[in-house]
Amino acid sequence: MDTIDFIDIDAALKRVGGNMGLYKRLLNTFTSGDYSEKILSAFQNSDMEDADRQVHALKGVAANLSLIKLHNICIELEKMIKAGESDFTTILSEMKADYEKTLTLVRELIEAN
Protein backbone atom coordinates (compact mmCIF):
# COMPACT_ATOMS: atom_id res chain seq x y z
CA MET A 1 0.00 0.00 0.00
CA ASP A 2 1.37 3.42 -1.00
CA THR A 3 0.89 5.24 2.29
CA ILE A 4 4.32 6.90 2.49
CA ASP A 5 3.84 10.68 2.69
CA PHE A 6 0.08 10.30 3.12
CA ILE A 7 -0.54 8.29 6.30
CA ASP A 8 1.73 7.66 9.28
CA ILE A 9 0.13 4.47 10.52
CA ASP A 10 2.66 3.94 13.32
CA ALA A 11 2.00 7.39 14.81
CA ALA A 12 -1.75 6.90 14.47
CA LEU A 13 -1.65 3.54 16.21
CA LYS A 14 0.33 5.05 19.09
CA ARG A 15 -2.44 7.62 19.45
CA VAL A 16 -5.07 4.88 19.78
CA GLY A 17 -3.05 2.57 22.02
CA GLY A 18 -2.19 0.17 19.20
CA ASN A 19 -5.85 -0.65 18.57
CA MET A 20 -6.10 -1.14 14.79
CA GLY A 21 -9.83 -1.84 15.03
CA LEU A 22 -10.42 1.53 16.68
CA TYR A 23 -8.20 3.29 14.15
CA LYS A 24 -10.11 1.71 11.28
CA ARG A 25 -13.42 2.83 12.80
CA LEU A 26 -12.08 6.38 13.08
CA LEU A 27 -10.86 6.22 9.48
CA ASN A 28 -14.28 4.98 8.41
CA THR A 29 -15.86 8.03 10.04
CA PHE A 30 -13.41 10.21 8.10
CA THR A 31 -14.48 8.64 4.80
CA SER A 32 -18.11 9.55 5.43
CA GLY A 33 -17.27 13.25 5.85
CA ASP A 34 -17.37 15.72 3.00
CA TYR A 35 -14.51 17.93 4.15
CA SER A 36 -13.18 18.71 0.67
CA GLU A 37 -16.57 19.79 -0.66
CA LYS A 38 -17.23 22.04 2.35
CA ILE A 39 -13.85 23.72 1.92
CA LEU A 40 -14.24 24.19 -1.83
CA SER A 41 -17.76 25.53 -1.35
CA ALA A 42 -16.60 28.10 1.21
CA PHE A 43 -13.90 29.35 -1.16
CA GLN A 44 -16.31 29.44 -4.11
CA ASN A 45 -18.65 31.57 -2.01
CA SER A 46 -15.73 33.81 -0.95
CA ASP A 47 -16.64 33.09 2.67
CA MET A 48 -13.18 33.24 4.17
CA GLU A 49 -14.46 32.84 7.73
CA ASP A 50 -16.17 29.57 6.82
CA ALA A 51 -13.18 28.52 4.69
CA ASP A 52 -10.88 29.05 7.66
CA ARG A 53 -13.24 27.11 9.94
CA GLN A 54 -13.54 24.20 7.48
CA VAL A 55 -9.78 24.06 6.82
CA HIS A 56 -9.11 24.13 10.56
CA ALA A 57 -11.56 21.25 11.12
CA LEU A 58 -9.91 19.12 8.45
CA LYS A 59 -6.48 20.00 9.82
CA GLY A 60 -7.50 18.66 13.23
CA VAL A 61 -9.00 15.46 11.86
CA ALA A 62 -5.96 14.90 9.65
CA ALA A 63 -3.60 15.44 12.58
CA ASN A 64 -5.50 13.05 14.84
CA LEU A 65 -5.58 10.34 12.15
CA SER A 66 -1.97 11.02 11.03
CA LEU A 67 -3.04 11.93 7.51
CA ILE A 68 0.20 13.74 6.81
CA LYS A 69 -0.38 15.28 3.36
CA LEU A 70 -3.79 16.63 4.31
CA HIS A 71 -2.54 18.02 7.58
CA ASN A 72 0.35 19.82 5.88
CA ILE A 73 -1.75 21.32 3.10
CA CYS A 74 -4.30 22.54 5.67
CA ILE A 75 -1.49 24.28 7.55
CA GLU A 76 -0.51 26.05 4.31
CA LEU A 77 -4.12 26.97 3.54
CA GLU A 78 -4.59 28.44 7.01
CA LYS A 79 -1.44 30.53 6.61
CA MET A 80 -2.64 31.84 3.26
CA ILE A 81 -6.07 32.73 4.64
CA LYS A 82 -4.58 34.54 7.63
CA ALA A 83 -2.15 36.40 5.34
CA GLY A 84 -5.08 37.65 3.27
CA GLU A 85 -4.01 35.90 0.08
CA SER A 86 -6.44 36.16 -2.80
CA ASP A 87 -5.43 33.37 -5.20
CA PHE A 88 -6.05 29.89 -3.83
CA THR A 89 -6.41 28.14 -7.20
CA THR A 90 -3.21 26.09 -7.06
CA ILE A 91 -3.36 25.07 -3.41
CA LEU A 92 -7.05 24.15 -3.62
CA SER A 93 -6.29 21.95 -6.61
CA GLU A 94 -3.49 20.29 -4.63
CA MET A 95 -5.74 19.90 -1.59
CA LYS A 96 -8.47 18.24 -3.64
CA ALA A 97 -5.98 15.82 -5.24
CA ASP A 98 -4.38 15.00 -1.87
CA TYR A 99 -7.81 14.53 -0.32
CA GLU A 100 -8.88 12.09 -3.04
CA LYS A 101 -5.61 10.14 -2.84
CA THR A 102 -5.88 10.02 0.97
CA LEU A 103 -9.47 8.75 0.74
CA THR A 104 -8.35 5.98 -1.61
CA LEU A 105 -5.52 4.96 0.71
CA VAL A 106 -7.75 5.12 3.78
CA ARG A 107 -10.34 2.89 2.12
CA GLU A 108 -7.61 0.40 1.19
CA LEU A 109 -6.34 0.44 4.78
CA ILE A 110 -9.83 -0.15 6.17
CA GLU A 111 -10.31 -3.14 3.89
CA ALA A 112 -6.87 -4.64 4.61
CA ASN A 113 -6.73 -7.56 7.04
pLDDT (0 to 100) of residue 5:
82
pLDDT (tens digit per residue) in 9-67: 999 999 999 999 999 999 999 999 899 999 999 999 999 999 999 999 999 999 999 99
pLDDT band at 1 (very low <50, low <70, confident <90, very high): very low
Rounded to 5 degrees, what are φ and ψ at 65? -95, 5
Domains and CATH numbers, the chain: 9-111 (1.20.120.160)
Q: Give exposure, 60-86, as e/b (b: 16+ Cβ within 10 Å).
A: ebbbebbbbbbbebbeebeebbeeeee
**From CA 21, how far away is CA 50, in angstroms rounded?**
33
Q: What's the mean pLDDT in 78-103?
A: 95
